Structure 1
Amino acid sequence: MSTSGRSPLSLAKQTYAASLKAAGRGLVKTGLAKETAPPVEERWRHWAHSLTKVYDSLAMAKLDVPWWTYDAISAVDAWLSERDRPIRVFEYGSGASTIWLSRRAEEIHSVEHHKGFGEMMQRELAGEEKISLRVIEPVASDDPVVPSQKEGHAGLDFEAYVNAIDDVDGEFDVVVIDGRAREVCLEKAKDRLAPGGIIVFDNSRRRRYVEAIAASGLKETIHAGLTPTLPYPERTSVLTKG
């Protein structure tokens, strides 16, 4: 496979993921580890098992976890169990969270910017009537209306991706922000929350996200710490209207 155009960081992540997956297969083959994950409640054991599933959304889905911190997973799971039905969800960024939420909510609308990944998820989710997953790629532009600060995304306009929420009527009990142009997604999402609804904003420790959340006027509850598949702590925030 050609590596042209890939950053050293991207190549390092790919190498790291491949080595851990190979190690996981080896442990299972020799009987030193099981194929099935420990219960999520056994957090440290579950996390250790998850390390061999890094950057694999479908493998993570089998662990019954989204790619948020364990504290955030626990908090959102408890919130969903107490919420009146039906529960409607909108997601910026599909993956393991889409499958996890579909087991806990009645209606999922997800938008994905990456064509290859999005089409793979569409095939995986085919037949799931409660899930609507659209792929909306960014368009090349010399002057993007909605740019992304993500490395390698210069000169791309995510306006249609961010505005995808406008194509779905009604309010949402949960909005997940875990894709591109998250600061603008937040501004769009906060006015679409149902009373008492929540926004799950992942990787919220990044400076530009800290600033966007502070400017949003929403109340933030930070859930930091251990995260499935990651060898370092992360941060997921749950946002509510005051």
Structure 2
Amino acid sequence: MLIRYVPGAIGFEAGLRRAARAALYLPTACRMAADPCYPWINAGAVRFLSRTLNRRMTGFEWGGGRSTAFLASRVLHLVSVEHSPKWRRRTLALLARHCLANVDCHFLPPGDAPGRPEARPETWRRMGHVHRKPEYAAYSDAILAYPEESFDFVAIDGRARVECAFNAASRLRPGGFLLLDNSEWEKYAPIFAAFSDWGRCDFENGVWRTSLLFKPDAPSG
């Protein structure tokens, strides 16, 4: 079969796709332009957080930035872990600008630190998982410094997200939730496989997806 190449056709189709993505992304871009603390996640997830978070909650996040200020302004206390010097500076400046002092900000860049492999939960063994980005071992294991069931929610929007999710599950309280941004990416499928018995809610806008996974409540009796 003869396939005829039409000059410019592929470029035109790519341009249409980019234009469509830009149009779908425009509402989020406008909200971010109007509010420096509007987080860079799906708008449906932002609405859920706005009506769910309260001043009794304690949370943990990987990936600092706008989300840090958004979350901190609504909860009792937040722990934030960042790997990038640039985003660390931006996050600290944003928190200072809005007088938010209820955040513990940790800077853990990639390196040779082994993390806490002995403290990793059973999920790693059950899934036969080996750290895919060992340079982020200390980063993804940061939550393991806290006791089990320490947090009402955990937000994952940084590096080594599969490893972060596996570690986060044991530190979430029953009934708490895990937020995963860019959850449409195939490489994050092990997270959904590991927690297939958790409740799930997806928010999509045609550009990307943000998912919430809800840890089952502790069994009664």
Whether contact under 8 Å (2:152, 2:173) holds in the other structure is yes
**Are 1:161 and 2:130 an aligned pair?**
no
Question: Is the contact made by 1:107 and 1:131 (CA closer than 8 Å) also made in structure 2?
Answer: yes
Higher radius of gyration, 1 or 2: 2
Whole-angstrom distance in 1 between the partners of 2:25 and 2:110: 38
In structure 2, relative to structure 1, the CA distance for the partners of 1:60 and 1:195 (3 Å cut) is: farther
Q: How does 1:62-101 map to 2 (within 5 A)?
A: 62=36, 64-81=37-54, 85-101=55-71
Deviation at 1:125?
2.3
Aligned 1:37-186 pairs, distance under 5 A: 46-47=27-28, 49-50=30-31, 61-62=35-36, 64-81=37-54, 85-126=55-96, 128-139=100-111, 146-148=131-133, 157-169=135-147, 171-186=150-165
Seen in structure 2, the aligned counterparts of structure 1 residues 61 and 184 have a Cα distance that, compared at 3 Å, is farther
Structure 1, unmatched stretches of 5+, are: 1-15, 21-42, 54-58, 149-155, 227-231
Q: Aligned with 1:97: secondary structure? A: helix
Deviation by residue 1:18-49 (Cα, 9 ceiling, x = unmatched): xx9xxxxxxxxxxxxxxxxxxxxxx9985362
Distance 1:106 1:47, change over 3 A: same
- Judged with a 3 Å threshold, the aligned counterparts in structure 2 of structure 1 residues 218 and 201 are, in CA distance, closer, same or farther, namely farther
Q: Tell me the secondary structure at the aligned position of residue 73 of structure 1.
A: helix
Q: Does residue 216 of structure 2 align to residue 216 of structure 1?
A: no
Q: Contact between 2:69 and 2:100, CA under 8 Å: does it hold in 1?
A: no
C-alpha distance in 1, partners of 2:35/2:141?
27
- CA drift of 1:69 comes to 0.9
Aligned partners of 1:77, 1:87: CA distance in 2, in Å? 13
Say whether the 8 Å CA contact 1:69–1:223 is kept in structure 2.
Answer: no
In structure 1, C-alpha distance between the alignment counterparts of 2:159 and 2:29, rounded to whole Å:
28
Q: Report the alpha carbon displacement of residue 140 of structure 1 after superposing the two structures with TM.
A: 5.4
CA-CA distance at 1:103 after TM superposition: 1.4
Structure 2: segments with no counterpart, 5+ residues: 1-17, 114-129, 217-221
Amino acid in structure 2 at the alignment position of 1:91: E
- What is the deviation of 1:208? 1.6
Distance 1:118 1:75 in 2: 26
1:184-223, aligned counterparts within 5 Å? 184-223=163-202
Question: Number of aligned pairs?
Answer: 176
Give the CA deviation at 1:71: 1.2
